[in-house]
C-alpha cells in the first residue's frame, strides 16, 4: 500500500539537520547598573569556540547602524611599542543618539620591562555615561580567546578582593587574555572586537583617557601595570568612576 505520509523521511532529515545546527549567537546583553548585586556578567569564561553568550557574528552586530569614526594607533609603554589599538564607532540611522563603540587590541612579543615578557592585556575598559544603559557584545574576528566577563566597573583582574568588584557606572570593563607569547599556554595576540552599545545624547568624541588597558595577571599584584590611552566615548562623561564604597 502507498505510504500515507510520503514526505516523512524528508521531514525527519530536516529535523535531524536542525538539531545538529549550531546555536544562534545570543548578541548584546545589558550590564547590571544597580548597587547590591553582581557586577560582572559571564560571557565565555572557558573560551568555548561554540559559546554564544554575548556573541555577535558580524560588526557591529545589529542592523541599521552606519560607521561614523574609525582609527588605529600604536600602544606605547616605556618607549616600547607593544601593539596597536583599533576603534570603530557606529551610529543608528533612525536614532542619532544611539551608538556602538568598538575596540580591538593587537599586541606583539616585544619585551617592554625587566621581566623579559611581552605585555599581557587582562582588562580593557571604556568610559560610559553613568545614567545611560550599557549593553555589550563581542565579535571573534582574528582572536583565539574570547571575552571572558564584562561589567560596569573600574576594577580589573586582581584589583579587588571580594567575589565581585564594586560598581562604577562610568566604565565598561571587558575581561580578556591577550598576549603574543603567553608563558602559560595558548597565545592570542588579538583581542576580540569588544562592543559597547549605549546612548550618547551629545554625540561622541575622542578623549585622551577614554580607554584603560590593564596587565595584572602577576604573582605580586603590586607589579600590575595599567595604561590610559585615547579612546572614543560619549560626550559629557563626568570625572571619577561613579562608584560606591
Please give the tally of structural domains in the chain. 1
Convert the pLDDT of each residue in 112-168 to its tens digit: 998 888 999 999 999 999 999 999 999 999 999 999 999 999 999 999 999 999 999
Q: Which helix (H) or strand (E) holds 198?
A: strand 193-199
DSSP letter (8 states) at residue 222? G
Any domain includes 53: yes
Any domain includes 17: no
Any domain includes 243: no
Domain with 71, as residue range(s), is: 26-234
Any domain includes 195: yes
Any domain includes 12: no
Q: Which of 24-38, 125-139, 172-186 reaches the highest mean pLDDT?
A: 125-139
DSSP letter (8 states) at residue 139? E
Cα angle value 63/194/217 (rounded, 5°): 165
Any domain includes 9: no
Name, in order, each residue with C-beta under 8 angstroms of 112's C-beta and a sequence gap of 6 or more: 77, 78, 80, 82, 118, 119
Comparing 164-168, 207-211, 235-239, which segment has the lowest mean pLDDT? 235-239
- Decide: pTM greater than 0.75: yes
Any domain includes 18: no
Q: Is the peptide bond between 60 and the residue preceding it cis, with omega within 30 degrees of 0?
A: yes
Q: Say if strands 149-151 and 171-178 run parallel, antiparallel, or are unpaired.
A: antiparallel
- pLDDT of 12 over the 60 cut: no
- pLDDT of 6 over the 70 cut: no
Q: Cα separation of 137 and 29, whole Å? A: 7
Any domain includes 66: yes
Amino acid at each position: 500500500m502507498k505510504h500515507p505520509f510520503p514526505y516523512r523521511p524528508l521531514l525527519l532529515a530536516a529535523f535531524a539537520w536542525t538539531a545538529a545546527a549550531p546555536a544562534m549567537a545570543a548578541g548584546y546583553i545589558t550590564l547590571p547598573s544597580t548597587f547590591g548585586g553582581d557586577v560582572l556578567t559571564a560571557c565565555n569564561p572557558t573560551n568555548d569556540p561554540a559559546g554564544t553568550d554575548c556573541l555577535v557574528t558580524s560588526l557591529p552586530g545589529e542592523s541599521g547602524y552606519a560607521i561614523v569614526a574609525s582609527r588605529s594607533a600604536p600602544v606605547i609603554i616605556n618607549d616600547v611599542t607593544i601593539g596597536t589599538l583599533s576603534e570603530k564607532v557606529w551610529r543608528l540611522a533612525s536614532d542619532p543618539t544611539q551608538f556602538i563603540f568598538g575596540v580591538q587590541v593587537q599586541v606583539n612579543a616585544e619585551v617592554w620591562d625587566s621581566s623579559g615578557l611581552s605585555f599581557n592585556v587582562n582588562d580593557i575598559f571604556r568610559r560610559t555615561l553613568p545614567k545611560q544603559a550599557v549593553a555589550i557584545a563581542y565579535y571573534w574576528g582574528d582572536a583565539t580567546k574570547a571575552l571572558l566577563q564584562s561589567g560596569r566597573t573600574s576594577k580589573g583582574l586582581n584589583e579587588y578582593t571580594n567575589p565581585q568588584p564594586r560598581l562604577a557606572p562610568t566604565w565598561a570593563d571587558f575581561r580578556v587574555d591577550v598576549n603574543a607569547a603567553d608563558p602559560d599556554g595558548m597565545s592570542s595576540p588579538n583581542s576580540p572586537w569588544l562592543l559597547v552599545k549605549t546612548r550618547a545624547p551629545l554625540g561622541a568624541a575622542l578623549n585622551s583617557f577614554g580607554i584603560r588597558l590593564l596587565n595584572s595577571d602577576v604573582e605580586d599584584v603590586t607589579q600590575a601595570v595599567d595604561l590610559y590611552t585615547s579612546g572614543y566615548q560619549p560626550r559629557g562623561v563626568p570625572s571619577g568612576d561613579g562608584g560606591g564604597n
